[in-house]
């Protein structure tokens, strides 16, 4: 019986290349794939040996790969995906993508140690996802637009969310509005910033470079850049934080400088994490469907594992949640009289 070594020798390629070609891996060119398939046909090679059976056997485990495992947003996502996995009789492995291409998460994908994966990690490139996803190894990519064989994407309408947040501040009379962003390479961050710019330009307002700072989507980042902003002297009347974690850190920094939210500075966030309604003042924010997006990702992954048809991409809606951290400029002026 012919082996993959025989196929590789006849095709004039490395054994690993022959293996990639026979499994439909995108790293192999069409010309090389054709040579390997022709060699396999001549040798009557069949991919049904013991090793292939082991490789293709189900592990009954899926992976959830995140940039960071800490924080309320990620914990909510993990819980929603875990619920779907358990209901399908599967285990869930959650791992961090820290380290990028050299991370354990990428090795997990390349070596296909699980049956499929959900990826929410901006430091894992589209190239890696396109190379590893296949009909036999489905991947659901969250918060990015990229599709291919075995690969679908789920995005939240962050641009509309950024627009709604900024428009809400403008409708309350604010014209000097700062934007505290997440990581520069985050697709989420880019969309929210685009929405902010659209609302500002629509109202004939210009952003000030000194009021655009990056808090890296973490509470301490929001705290530190707000402190920095306040050291500059001239303050905005409102701040749009790219997520609630940064907004909570920002509110602490504002109050430590003896200013009040919203009497001196209005604040709006993004996400609507559970803590948002319990801080003082309760945070006005843009709610994105965290639990629903995790559940959808899980259900779509299992549909692909069961060879069911799914769409290439999905876009989820956002909504404004009004609480107590935004005050109109007119109300502030009256309180000073």
How many angstroms separate the CA atoms of 241 and 284, rounded?
11
Looking at the structure, do residues 108 and 173 belong to the same domain, yes or no? no
How many angstroms separate the CA atoms of 30 and 38, rounded?
12
How many angstroms separate the CA atoms of 82 and 64, rounded?
9
Residues 37, 38, 39, 44: what is their CA dihedral angle, to the nearest 10 degrees? Answer: 90
DSSP state, residue 96: E
Looking at the structure, do residues 148 and 251 belong to the same domain, yes or no? no
Looking at the structure, do residues 260 and 332 belong to the same domain, yes or no? yes
pLDDT computed for residue 54 by the predictor = 42
The larger pLDDT score, comparing residue 102 to residue 212, is at: 212
Looking at the structure, do residues 282 and 294 belong to the same domain, yes or no? no
pLDDT computed for residue 109 by the predictor = 87
pLDDT computed for residue 22 by the predictor = 77
Q: Which residues pair with 93 in a beta bridge?
A: 63
Share of the chain above pLDDT 70, in %: 93
Looking at the structure, do residues 73 and 89 belong to the same domain, yes or no? yes
Looking at the structure, do residues 304 and 329 belong to the same domain, yes or no? no
CA 19 to chain centre: 32
- Pairing, β 313-316 against β 284-287: unpaired
Cα distances (Å, whole numbers) of residue 188 to 96, 121, 310: 18, 11, 23
How many angstroms separate the CA atoms of 256 and 289, rounded?
32
Q: Would you call 76 exposed, middle or buried from its count of C-beta atoms within 10 A (0-12, 13-18, 19+)?
A: middle
Q: What is the tally of structural domains in the chain?
A: 3
Looking at the structure, do residues 198 and 332 belong to the same domain, yes or no? yes
Share of the chain above pLDDT 90, in %: 61
**CATH number of 41's domain:** 1.10.260.40
How many angstroms separate the CA atoms of 329 and 171, rounded?
10
How many angstroms separate the CA atoms of 273 and 38, rounded?
55
Structural domain boundaries, residue 28: 4-55
Looking at the structure, do residues 199 and 332 belong to the same domain, yes or no? yes
Looking at the structure, do residues 163 and 195 belong to the same domain, yes or no? yes
61, 90 in Cβ contact below 8 A?
yes
Half-sphere exposure of 275 (CA within 13 A, CB side): 16
Looking at the structure, do residues 125 and 246 belong to the same domain, yes or no? no
Looking at the structure, do residues 284 and 294 belong to the same domain, yes or no? no
Looking at the structure, do residues 195 and 331 belong to the same domain, yes or no? yes
The larger pLDDT score, comparing residue 3 to residue 11, is at: 11
**CATH number of 102's domain:** 3.40.50.2300
Peptide linkage before 192 cis (omega within 30 of 0):
no
CA 52 to chain centre: 33
- 26-45 pLDDT, tens digit per residue, is 677 888 888 988 888 888 77
- State pTM to two decimals: 0.77
């Amino acid at each position: 019986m012919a082996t993959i070594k025989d196929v590789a020798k006849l095709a004039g390629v490395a054994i690993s290349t022959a293996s990639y070609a026979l499994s439909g891996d995108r790293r192999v060119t069409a010309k090389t794939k054709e040579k390997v398939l022709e060699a396999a046909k001549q040798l009557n090679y069949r991919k049904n040996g013991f090793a292939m059976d082991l490789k293709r056997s189900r592990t009954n485990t899926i992976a959830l790969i995140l940039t960071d495992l800490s924080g309320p947003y990620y914990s909510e996502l993990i819980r929603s995906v875990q619920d779907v996995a358990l209901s399908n009789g599967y285990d869930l492995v959650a791992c961090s993508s820290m380290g990028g291409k050299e991370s354990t998460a990428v090795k997990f994908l390349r070596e296909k140690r699980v049956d499929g994966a959900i990826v929410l990690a901006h430091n894992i490139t589209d190239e890696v996802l396109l190379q590893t996803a296949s009909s036999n190894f489905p991947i659901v990519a969250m918060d990015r637009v990229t599709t291919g064989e075995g690969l679908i994407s789920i995005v939240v309408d962050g641009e509309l969310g950024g627009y709604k947040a900024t428009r809400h501040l403008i409708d309350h009379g604010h014209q000097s509005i700062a934007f505290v962003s997440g990581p520069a390479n985050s697709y989420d961050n880019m969309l929210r910033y685009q929405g902010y710019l659209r609302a500002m330009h629509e109202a004939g307002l210009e952003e000030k470079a000194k009021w655009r700072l990056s808090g890296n989507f973490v509470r301490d980042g929001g705290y530190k850049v707000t402190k920095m902003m306040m050291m500059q002297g001239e303050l905005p009347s409102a701040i749009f934080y790219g997520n609630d974690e940064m907004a909570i850190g920002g509110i602490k920094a504002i109050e430590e400088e003896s200013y009040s939210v919203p009497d001196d500075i209005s604040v709006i966030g993004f996400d609507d994490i559970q803590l948002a309604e319990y801080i003082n003042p309760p945070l006005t924010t843009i709610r994105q469907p965290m639990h629903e997006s995790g559940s959808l990702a899980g259900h779509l992954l299992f549909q692909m594992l069961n060879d069911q048809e799914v769409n290439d991409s999905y876009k989820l809606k956002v909504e404004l949640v009004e609480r107590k951290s935004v005050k109109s400029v007119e109300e502030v002026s009256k309180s000073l009289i």
